[in-house]
Amino acid sequence: MLQLPYQSLQVTAVPSQRVPAREDQDGPWHAEAVCRRDEAGLFFAPSKEPTAARLSREEAAKQVCARCPVMVECQEHALLQPEPYGVWGGLTAAERRVVLARRRRRDVDVKKTQSAA
């Protein structure tokens, strides 16, 4: 069996304040999250993690996210908070920064279009 680098890293608990308190009619969206059954260390980097290990861990986390029924809700939560660390909704912190920058540019373009009309 292939041993991935992230499996030998120290696992740290996910801080409880990172879990959103939002509830919908069926209860909190995060109650259905697949990641609640996986180790938290897969989604959050240990300090001084080597690049190769980080990339491997992030890819494994994204694979978990890909099969999650609340991936979209998780991703939106991470973009609205904004969550500065970890893999949320299949996106790393760097990927979320790109999405947020694109949204800001789109919003500026929409405002320009509306004011020109």
pLDDT per residue of the chain (117 residues) written in tens, 0 to 9: 344 444 433 333 343 334 333 444 456 888 899 988 867 789 998 889 999 999 999 999 999 999 999 999 999 999 998 889 999 999 999 999 999 999 999 988 888 888 877
Please tell me whether 92 is known to bind a ligand: no
Say what the pLDDT of residue 26 is: 52
What's the rounded Cα separation, in Å, for the pair 88 and 97?
12
Please tell me whether 35 is known to bind a ligand: yes
Please tell me whether 7 is known to bind a ligand: no
Please tell me whether 103 is known to bind a ligand: no
What's the rounded Cα separation, in Å, for the pair 71 and 88?
8
What's the rounded Cα separation, in Å, for the pair 67 and 70?
9
Say what the pLDDT of residue 2 is: 42
Per the structure block, which two tokens stand in for 87? 């893999």
Torsion region of 11: left, alpha or beta (phi above 0 gives left; psi -120 to 50 gives alpha):
beta
